[in-house]
Amino acid sequence: MRASKGLARKTPLRQRKPMVKRARPKMTAARREAQGRPCTIRIPCYCEPNPETTVLAHYRMGTGGGQKPDDEQAADACFVCHEIVDGRMAAPEYTKDQIRLWHAEGVLRTQESRRQEAA
């Protein structure tokens, strides 16, 4: 029997750059503007009236995981409504289509309020 020397590379492996993760998500002007505003999604029986928890909730239309659409396609959402539209919290009495409709309506309300403020 012949002894095997094993596999050996002819060329060295390329060094990979370490992946840099941001400690916090990028805070855009639109995301800052959402803070302190009322929720525009307004899911019945879940929506919080406290504007201190309001964040920008992006409306996803076929984008892959981890990809957010432009900030213009987002609604001002309280913490609870944002958790529901992102699927992190259940609202069993409502269908996915109802939740997406409320989110889309929230996007339109948010765009309208921004247009009125700009005028």
Active site residue 58: yes
The dihedrals phi and psi of 113, each to the nearest 5 degrees, come to -65, -35
What span, in angstroms and rounded, lies between the C-alpha atoms of 77 and 37? 9
Catalytic residue among 47, 54, 56, 58: 58
Distances (CA, A) of 81 to 22, 62, 116: 25, 20, 24
Tell me the C-alpha distance between 114 and 8, whole Å. 62
Q: Are the CB atoms for 30 and 64 separated by under 8 Å?
A: no
List residues with catalytic annotation: 58
